[in-house]
């Protein structure tokens, strides 16, 4: 069972590494690297189960699995702080304190208890873990990565459950179930990211941004673009599915004619998240360069 868990997690790790090429030029690439690091730590945690009984002990093994689950929470929260220029401070002022707070009960247990005693994370710490898990996964509800986020969340939860007060069953089955769900999540993510920049138009650019960064940033960017739309009286407004005519009752009846100004402003707003090289992948229909100085 442990061999199958290790193989599944290793496959998820290689898939996560392949996904990095689709995030080139995006601040989200940092979250992708953190996801790969979490899966690497999961492989190391599973490898501890191959050691002889009593080495290093049930306490450290269960502690490593819980810390692994905490580290796999980090990418979902990292994406929430991925807008420039604050993305450089986010790891130090948000991610690092979050990891320390969630891991503190485990660290204190390992230091104070005997190594043969398994870790049991108290209920308050578990509730904090669940809150962070829902924050990261909830950001992708309504995007093309909804299923991937659900599978990843369940996989992370399976890694953490054996170290909680709520579950007293052996951990091998939970680890295998978690590894399988992480593999499914990695494959679904790669399938979606492989479609990035499939078409060179504004709708593809917007949908790629929405699915990579989630609903939190999509709504904030949408509101910002619509501020310019209202002020300048564009014939289109931005929605979660892209531009649509402002006064058309049924948007599916017509394809909106997007003004050049709207296209430039879309790229200007998203420039906080992407480099010029990323936008060039969408420039077949929009040969003008991103106006990073406007307005």
**Chain segment 139-169, per-residue pLDDT in tens:** 999 999 999 999 999 999 998 887 776 665 5
**Domain boundary at 193, 224, 241, which?**
193
pTM for this entry: 0.89
Alpha helices in the chain (DSSP H): 2-19, 29-47, 58-78, 90, 96-112, 123-138, 146-160, 171-193, 202-232, 260-270, 276-279
Q: Is the domain of 21 the same as that of 111?
A: yes
How many structural domains is the chain composed of? Answer: 2
Dist. CA 280–CA 282, nearest whole Å: 5
Q: Does a structural domain hold residue 287? A: no
- Expressed as residue numbers, the domain containing 253 is 202-282
How many other C-beta atoms are found inside a 10 Å radius of the C-beta of residue 28?
23
Q: Does 177 share its domain with 77?
A: yes
Residues 113 and 164 occupy one common structural domain: yes
Which of 25-39, 146-160, 237-251, 255-269 is predicted with the least confidence, judged by mean pLDDT?
A: 237-251
Last residue of a domain, one of 193, 220, 252: 193
Q: What is the per-residue pLDDT for 107?
A: 81
Residue 119 has pLDDT above 80, yes or no: no
């Amino acid at each position: 069972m442990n061999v199958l868990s290790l193989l599944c997690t290793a496959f998820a790790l290689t898939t996560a590494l392949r996904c990095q090429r689709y995030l080139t030029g995006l601040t989200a690439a940092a979250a992708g690297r953190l996801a790969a690091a979490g899966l690497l730590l999961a492989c190391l945690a599973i490898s501890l189960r191959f050691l002889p009984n009593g080495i290093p002990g049930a306490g450290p093994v269960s502690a490593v699995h819980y810390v692994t689950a905490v580290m796999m929470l980090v990418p979902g929260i990292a994406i929430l702080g991925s807008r420039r220029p604050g993305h450089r401070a986010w790891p130090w002022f948000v991610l690092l304190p979050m990891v320390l707070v969630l891991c503190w009960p485990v660290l204190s247990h390992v230091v104070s208890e005997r190594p043969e005693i398994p870790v049991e994370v108290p209920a308050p710490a578990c509730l904090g873990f669940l809150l962070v898990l829902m924050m990261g996964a909830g950001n992708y509800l309504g995007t093309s990565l909804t299923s991937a986020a659900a599978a990843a969340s369940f996989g992370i939860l399976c890694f953490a459950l054996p170290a909680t007060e709520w579950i007293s069953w052996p951990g091998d089955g939970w680890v295998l179930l978690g590894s399988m769900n992480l593999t499914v999540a990695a494959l679904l993510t790669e399938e979606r990211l492989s479609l990035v920049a499939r078409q060179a138009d504004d709708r593809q650019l917007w949908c790629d941004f929405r699915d990579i960064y989630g609903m939190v940033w999509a709504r904030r960017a949408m509101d910002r673009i619509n501020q310019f739309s209202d002020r300048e009286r564009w014939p289109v407004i931005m929605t979660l599915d892209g531009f649509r005519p402002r006064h058309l009752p049924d948007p599916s009846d017509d394809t909106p004619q997007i003004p050049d100004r709207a296209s430039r402003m879309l790229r200007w707003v998203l420039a906080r998240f992407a480099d010029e090289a990323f936008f060039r992948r969408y420039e077949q229909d929009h040969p003008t360069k991103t106006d990073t100085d406007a307005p």
